[in-house]
Structure 1
Amino acid sequence: MADIPLQVISENSVSERRITPSWSITQLRRKLEPVTGIPPSSQRISLKTATKETIAVEAADEDTVLLSNFPLSAYAELHIVDTRPASLRLNLNDTSGVEKYVMPAEEYEKKSDSVLAWKKAEKLGRFNPDAPSLEKAKIDAFNFDVKSRGIEVGKRCRVGGNDARRGEIKYVGEVKEIPGSIGAWVGVHLDEPVGKNDGSIGSTRYWGTESALKHGVFVRPERVEVGEWPMLDDLEDMEEI
């Protein structure tokens, strides 16, 4: 009889294997051990057919009973359960005891097929000879925005053209805690608690006190509109009731 492809499923592995119907159950157990890591005597084997029926693959004399006695069909599932106590099983998913390999920096720099080597070849990031001038151009652009928009500490403003996000400028400058940040940021204390912080990022406080939760926000200069933006009066509309 021709071999039949089955899905062999155990706790630590799932794989497609070709099963020969002329094998005995004992032969099957031996062949499953290197696939599942479960000793033959500790295997509980069951066959899940296309009709979802589950049949135990076992017999009183497993040396003589052949797999052709079972309804094998292509891509049916062969489930193998490890009957050993948990303390005796191999836990291949637990990597806590495996020492993580960290390649030395000197060795990594010598590799020709690494991301670092690709960046060098493409002259990206710190390997770009124009990087210092590009960074300076970005900083100059932010500084120009600050000056041209009249952004100064103490002035009233609104953020992102949103009337609900009016406030007072409390900080203008670099914010080292923002990843990849260069150039000027504008810290605004919003009138309403619709911001992202309380005037601090990480362990650095740029203005105010911890009581002003959600009143602080840091944005780039192009999102700040300086002007005579008075605080919103929630009771203003009451006059029309």
Structure 2
Amino acid sequence: MADVPLQVISENSTSERRITPSWSITQLKRKLEPITGIPPSSQRISLKTASKESIPIEAADEDVVLLSNFPLSTYAELHVIDTRPASAKLNFNDTSGVEKYIMPPEEYEKKSDSVLAWKKAEKLGRFNPDAPSLEKAKIDAFELEVRSRGIEVGKRCRVGGDDTRRGEVKYVGEVKEIPGSIGAWVGVQLDEPVGKNDGSIGGTRYWGTESTLKHGVFVRPERVEVGEWPVLNDLEDMEEI
């Protein structure tokens, strides 16, 4: 009889396998051990057919009973249950004890089928011959934005057009702690503690002293509007009671 493709399903794996009907149940269990990680003596196998009927694959003498005695059908599901107690099972999802391999940079650079090799071939990122000029253009654009908006340390401002996010410009320049960023950032100390930091980022302090209150935020120049933005007084418009 021809081999039958079945879906072998266990707790730790699912894969398509070709099953030979002339195998005995014992042979099947031996072949399933390297696939499922379950010893033959601890396997409980059932066959789920297209009609969703679950048929146990078992017999009094599994050495002689062949799989041809069961209704094997193409792409039926062969479920393999591990009958061992939880304490006896191997945890294949625990990788804490697995030694991790890190490829040396010089070896990675020699590979021809890596992302790095693809970037080199396509002249992307730092391999783009125009990259330096493009980077300078971005830096110049941010500097122009700073000048045209009149952004200077000490000036009052608001952030993102939000009238409730008023504050004072405390820093203008690069912030190397922000990954992948180039060009000028504007550090603003907000009047209210609704910022992302206290004036420091990535261990570098740009203004002020350490505080549990987060008044600080770093934004690009286009989000800063300099002007006469006094500190809001929430009680100013309240009527006397």
TM-score > 0.5, shorter chain as reference = yes
Query: 1:221 Cα deviation (Å)?
Result: 1.3
Match of 2:59, SS state, is coil
Query: 1:157 Cα deviation (Å)?
Result: 0.6
- Cα distance between partner residues in 2 of 1:57 and 1:26: 10
- Over 3 Å counting, the alpha-carbon distance change for 1:20 and 1:138 in structure 2 is closer
In structure 1, stretches of 5+ residues that fail to align are: none
Task: Read off the aligned partner of 2:118 and give its amino acid letter.
Answer: W
Query: 1:90 Cα deviation (Å)?
Result: 5.7
1:116 aligned partner? 116
- Cα distance between partner residues in 2 of 1:72 and 1:169: 75
2:40 aligned partner? 40
Percent identity for Structure 1 against Structure 2 = 88
Task: Read off the aligned partner of 1:9 and give its amino acid letter.
Answer: I
TM-score in terms of structure 1 length? 0.82
- Cα distance between partner residues in 1 of 2:128 and 2:188: 35
- Over 3 Å counting, the alpha-carbon distance change for 1:5 and 1:110 in structure 2 is closer
2:76 aligned partner? 76
- Over 3 Å counting, the alpha-carbon distance change for 1:226 and 1:7 in structure 2 is same
Greater CA drift, 46-55 or 157-166 = 46-55
Deviation string 1:200-235 (CA, Å, 9 cap, x unpaired) is 112112122333623111111111111101122212
1:14 aligned partner? 14
Greater CA drift, 187-196 or 67-76 = 67-76
1:192 aligned partner? 192
**Aligned ranges for residues 53-72 of structure 1 at < 5 Å?**
53-72=53-72
- Over 3 Å counting, the alpha-carbon distance change for 1:209 and 1:58 in structure 2 is same
Let me know the Cα RMSD of the aligned residues: 3.0
- Over 3 Å counting, the alpha-carbon distance change for 1:107 and 1:28 in structure 2 is closer
Match of 1:236, SS state, is coil
- Cα distance between partner residues in 2 of 1:211 and 1:34: 57
TM-score in terms of structure 2 length? 0.82
- Cα distance between partner residues in 1 of 2:212 and 2:94: 45
**Aligned ranges for residues 81-230 of structure 1 at < 5 Å?**
81-83=81-83, 92-211=92-211, 213-230=213-230
Query: 1:58 Cα deviation (Å)?
Result: 1.6
- Over 3 Å counting, the alpha-carbon distance change for 1:55 and 1:136 in structure 2 is same
Task: Read off the aligned partner of 2:161 and give its amino acid letter.
Answer: G
Query: 1:32 Cα deviation (Å)?
Result: 2.7
- Cα distance between partner residues in 2 of 1:131 and 1:72: 61
Query: 1:86 Cα deviation (Å)?
Result: 6.4
Match of 1:182, SS state, is coil
Deviation string 1:39-63 (CA, Å, 9 cap, x unpaired) is 4333222233445454432221223
Query: 1:113 Cα deviation (Å)?
Result: 3.0
Query: 1:158 Cα deviation (Å)?
Result: 0.7
